Structure 1
């Protein structure tokens, strides 16, 4: 048995609908199953999902205050006013800023941009920046990807006589800022159909309204910002992301071209993963460590040489960011592990932690401990802490923080992520309240990480053609996650650790005549947890592996489980305990059957539980649900059968069966041997086996042990007397069968024990144990 890392939430599709859709659309069963699972269960729905067009783009004037904002911006351009685009420092923010700036430039505006420094100014609009803008004769400020919580700053703008247009997509607070216009689809009184636009998506809608056409020249920026900000890729967002990726495969801005070259991204192969894991993090890096300006300059640059230098700078910043994150994550983990128990909501903090990467560290802690997490950078000189929070399924982080407003003068975000500022002195109060909310609202099952599985498949169904059909469902992301495929109860054709540190796992999965390769990154240790003859189930993503001119399907495995008990064959190992992973110490029970094995027990790890059958009565319940090492050969089948007859069977069996002597290959005298020797004794009446036994055995071609065994059986049966090596016949003994001799019976059983347990094949041994397990459960003590 092997427990999965996550709780698998498996959804079964209606296979009749799947087959019908596959036939109607001429696609693979895998692709059809995906469509049905996602709700596109008839031809019309499926075709609208597969064949997107510009009709999916909604009218920008459906956004509340859009008409008012557009009129004001056009007036500012016409009157030659100074306009400031006020942005944010993450990837969504820098793409939003670049898009709005380029749009206004295209319209002939006098425009500049400003992104606050995360470390000196914090998140969002601030009074000092607004006052400085006024000094620069700015009369119109347009925020992008920020501002929905800027109530004070809106009042400052009014006081300064500066019109403020807020464009944002974050959750609105109870009181909306009193700005000239507020464009945010999440406002209660905004009826725009797409509530899930990214900040760059909202900026794109403003550009659409200003230009009175769909500004396709900026759709690449929309794709980058939307994917990096993890907004749901459905409906309009899906079309914008797909078109943006497509545009990036044809032509790139100088900055993006240089960045992609530096990341070794082939534009023709670009997909959402390149944006999410390579381009997005690098655009984020500048604002996380210092100013976001280099990232914006990269997107705005029209000079190849400048773009190349900026790409190198941003990549170097990203490497520095990775180093900082690794160090902080280690320190944060140590803080959590130092607690007696892991609380329901983690809050960790330290002076000197880089406030720009605390969100990444929070995500790392959620991944490791699976608890809602807030990571704080403490500034003891001001008594303030800047925090970033990440959540788990079933816990609405934004709503929980909303119940703690008394300690949070500034916070904002989403159900799964948030940012905040607070006084250090209130940290304990916040943790107590957040833990209480979590413990009373999170369902029991949501404390365990879940893995949504929506694509059960057979190995035979996984072909390159099927995977190509599946890739047509991209781009994948939030709202349209990459499908997690499930392959159940298949055999292992091959298992191998790979990588310089052997920390990755390569598998070949076999189902009847079909074989599929799989790779599980950072799961090399699981190779030792898989029995070669176990049937396992895996969850992962299907992909196409192109290598050395060969193209074949493969699975990127994310989780593995084995539901059945597993047998591990250690019969050739002299020190079998060294082959068992000690991380399972609490589950391991060692069974030693013979007194001569006592010396071996001293070598067993002290944390393991040992049961010595030769020391008296055994409580067999200790073997329930455990990993059992059968150290040596049992004295009887009954001992072994008792272990496997417990109610909750052992999850793993490590068969070692260390032994000093083979009875199976020793001579077992036949009935003719017994008859001849008895006749020999009757003629001699006595025989000195110590003095003449070896000669007799040699003469007859027997072994001396075989001869002594015959004598012991005769003694058991009362046929002879034995004294100091002298064997004498007993007159007129009763008639008895050989099977009545305990010595004979034990020898026969030991020979059979060795045959079944030592000299059987791996599969034969497992079948024998399985048959014992399937017998009626007996109660033992």
Structure 2
């Protein structure tokens, strides 16, 4: 038995098949119909739109409140020769938003520049000093992108200075809005039907309204910001990403081409390429220094400059990875040495790089699956600044907003947030959030959730199925790659990777073979017994090697629901396979054997336990089969480890046959006497028997009173009673021992597990079941 690491949420059931009737007029496979229904796509029109994204499905920009007013103000600035400042943000969404807005303004004839605040000295969002500097430099209009909705005080300062501010943002709206000239925000626009655009999506919509046409040329930027910011890939976001990936694939932007080259992206660009390669590199710039370099990279039209900037971005990303690893290690050590019962993890330290704290928080969530806040302390200002990441079921934004007075600055989403607060308030914040978590979360909430879309057998998996599922791409938030549940017996289990930290299994059925890989699951191998069914949850993908394409499963989690037998018989180094945590493992010796470094106990100790045992080790053979029967019937264990060997086996000195006993007895009657020392060796040579066999047969005769001793000779008894061989105790003992060895020493793995399984189901007093070997 092996427990899953995650809670498996099964979204499919038999009613799903009946529910597909609601999509009867759409010509798609049953698998796709079920997956669409699970995503809330329950009409033919919705299904057609989802599977066939079109620009016609995008919403009209007129739905944004204030958008006409904002565009008119920009045109007024252009006509009057006013300077416009695009005020951006330092992450990938903010960088791409800035680029889109700058290019749209310049195409419209505006005199404009851009400014991205420094994460370390200014922080996120509008900054009073930056606005004052913009005024000093002669800017008359500021347009924020991917920020501004929380800048109430800063916008008020701008108004005092005579600066107009247009806010384009998508972050959560707080209690009140800034008194800006115009606010372009889907959640502040009652008439705009889709509320989940990324910052770059809002900037794109503003650019479209300003330019008067659909600027398809910006889609290569829009797709980067949208995927990197983890917004739901549905409705407009799905359309923008669908066509944005195509645009990114063929993009002629010098900066993007240089980035793709560094990332070793060739051919079709995927959402994974953005999420794991392009996005992190653009984010790395703002995490370590001013993000203007990233905007310069996207705006440049010079190939040499693009390559130079891309290489610099690559260096920063490498440095960022190193810093993240160091801070994560320190954060884990701090948490492990503190009160680990806390429902919310908060770690804070002076000297930590503020730019990477969101990544560190994410790693803490992945490790402990609890909400996490990581803060860098500034000893001069007495302020703690950092990032939060959360788990399903705990809305970080709403819970922190309940204690808004604790923060100097705060903003974000349900699963991610940024904050600044006085150092003295950190403990208070920890206590308040921990109390909220206790009220809102159950023990099950502290396990990751895997949403399972369907159940597959080995024979179901082929390239056609993968191509069918690919109709749902691009995948991302709110449209994840479907996870499937599969139960099968692996034909091969092994650890792979330089440090053996990955799991590889092969499954085969009806001529179909499927490879599966579980990254980071290599530690599970010692807990997986051969020839035992396992349950896995994973996603399907194509494995291409030397031009051959075949499906494989990427395992996300694994479980074994039945007891497992681990066969270590005759293995000298079996202790190397032993579970390092032996607190709930028991080592039983029937013969009182001494095993160094192991807490050995007897059978009775285990029988008196009233708990489930993780692993039950049998170190040697019992006297009888009943000893084993009693253990497996009365003890609740997950894994049974059979570790014994035997040096003096009776198996190959098997019981003589009845014909052999009859022949020897007749010989005795004929000869009238038998000198064991002289005659036994001759008899052994003549019949090809071992001396031990002859000795045993005479011992049986003696116990049954068939023979006796007279003057040192073995002679037949006078008028012996008629008895069966099995009446002799020595015969019975030998028979039972041979039977015990037959089952526990010389049986195959399958035979041994079958016998044990039968005993687990049987009654203790039941006679021994027939076991044909």
- The answer, yes or no, to whether TM exceeds 0.5 is yes
Q: Which residue of 2 aligns with 1:197?
A: 197
1:644 to 619, 628, 632: 632
Residue 448 (1) aligns with residue 447 (2): yes
Q: Residue 366 of structure 1: CA displacement?
A: 0.2
Shifted more, 220-229 versus 362-371: the winner is 220-229
- CA–CA distance in 1 between the matches of 2:128 and 2:226? 29
Query: CA distance change for structure 1 residues 725 and 322 in 2, over 3 Å: closer, same or farther?
Result: farther
Q: Residue 63 of structure 1: CA displacement?
A: 1.6
Q: Which residue of 2 aligns with 1:325?
A: 324
- CA–CA distance in 1 between the matches of 2:390 and 2:512? 41
Q: Which residue of 1 aligns with 2:617?
A: 629
Secondary structure of 2:103's counterpart equals helix
- CA–CA distance in 2 between the matches of 1:300 and 1:722? 111
The equivalences for 1:660-699 within 5 A come to 660-675=647-662, 689=676, 693-694=680-681, 697-698=684-685
Query: CA distance change for structure 1 residues 133 and 545 in 2, over 3 Å: closer, same or farther?
Result: same
Q: Which residue of 2 aligns with 1:541?
A: 539
Residue 119 (1) aligns with residue 131 (2): no
Query: CA distance change for structure 1 residues 517 and 18 in 2, over 3 Å: closer, same or farther?
Result: farther
- CA–CA distance in 2 between the matches of 1:466 and 1:638? 51
What are structure 2's unaligned runs of at least 5 residues?
767-773
Shifted more, 635-644 versus 310-319: the winner is 635-644
Q: Residue 273 of structure 1: CA displacement?
A: 0.7
- CA–CA distance in 2 between the matches of 1:742 and 1:585? 41
The equivalences for 1:141-180 within 5 A come to 141-180=142-181
Q: Residue 448 of structure 1: CA displacement?
A: 1.4
The equivalences for 1:583-662 within 5 A come to 583-595=580-592, 598-599=593-594, 601-602=595-596, 605-606=597-598, 609-613=599-603, 619=607, 621=609, 624-646=612-634, 648=636, 650-662=637-649
Query: CA distance change for structure 1 residues 262 and 618 in 2, over 3 Å: closer, same or farther?
Result: closer
Query: CA distance change for structure 1 residues 724 and 626 in 2, over 3 Å: closer, same or farther?
Result: farther
Query: CA distance change for structure 1 residues 59 and 25 in 2, over 3 Å: closer, same or farther?
Result: closer
Question: Considering only aligned residues, what root-mean-square deviation do their CA atoms show, in Å?
Answer: 2.6
Shifted more, 138-147 versus 679-688: the winner is 679-688
Secondary structure of 1:571's counterpart equals coil
- CA–CA distance in 1 between the matches of 2:76 and 2:278? 36
- CA–CA distance in 1 between the matches of 2:66 and 2:23? 45
Q: Which residue of 2 aligns with 1:757?
A: 744
Q: Residue 452 of structure 1: CA displacement?
A: 0.9
Query: CA distance change for structure 1 residues 763 and 724 in 2, over 3 Å: closer, same or farther?
Result: farther
Q: Residue 519 of structure 1: CA displacement?
A: 1.8
Q: Residue 569 of structure 1: CA displacement?
A: 2.2
Cα deviations by residue, 1:175-200 (Å, 9 ceiling, x for unpaired): 2112222222223x634211111111
Using the size of structure 1 for normalisation, the TM-score is 0.92
Q: Which residue of 2 aligns with 1:739?
A: 726
What are structure 1's unaligned runs of at least 5 residues?
none
Shifted more, 461-470 versus 394-403: the winner is 461-470
Query: CA distance change for structure 1 residues 724 and 334 in 2, over 3 Å: closer, same or farther?
Result: farther
Q: Residue 501 of structure 1: CA displacement?
A: 3.1
Query: CA distance change for structure 1 residues 52 and 533 in 2, over 3 Å: closer, same or farther?
Result: same
Secondary structure of 1:236's counterpart equals helix
Cα deviations by residue, 1:33-88 (Å, 9 ceiling, x for unpaired): 32232233454332111111112211222122222222212111111111111111
Query: CA distance change for structure 1 residues 611 and 28 in 2, over 3 Å: closer, same or farther?
Result: farther
- CA–CA distance in 2 between the matches of 1:72 and 1:577? 77
The equivalences for 1:173-572 within 5 A come to 173-187=174-188, 190-266=190-266, 268-487=267-486, 489-572=487-570
Secondary structure of 2:140's counterpart equals strand
Residue 61 (1) aligns with residue 66 (2): no
Q: Residue 677 of structure 1: CA displacement?
A: 5.2
The answer to whether the 8 A contact 1:496-1:527 is kept is: yes
Q: Which residue of 2 aligns with 1:73?
A: 74
- CA–CA distance in 2 between the matches of 1:715 and 1:381? 99
Secondary structure of 1:274's counterpart equals helix
Q: Which residue of 2 aligns with 1:5?
A: 5
Query: CA distance change for structure 1 residues 162 and 726 in 2, over 3 Å: closer, same or farther?
Result: farther
Using the size of structure 2 for normalisation, the TM-score is 0.93
The answer to whether the 8 A contact 2:607-2:635 is kept is: no
Secondary structure of 2:283's counterpart equals helix
The answer to whether the 8 A contact 1:145-1:199 is kept is: yes
Query: CA distance change for structure 1 residues 274 and 700 in 2, over 3 Å: closer, same or farther?
Result: closer
- CA–CA distance in 1 between the matches of 2:528 and 2:229? 38
The answer to whether the 8 A contact 2:219-2:243 is kept is: yes
- CA–CA distance in 1 between the matches of 2:436 and 2:354? 26
Secondary structure of 2:277's counterpart equals helix
Q: Residue 208 of structure 1: CA displacement?
A: 1.6
The answer to whether the 8 A contact 2:119-2:290 is kept is: yes
Query: CA distance change for structure 1 residues 458 and 677 in 2, over 3 Å: closer, same or farther?
Result: closer
The answer to whether the 8 A contact 1:593-1:634 is kept is: yes
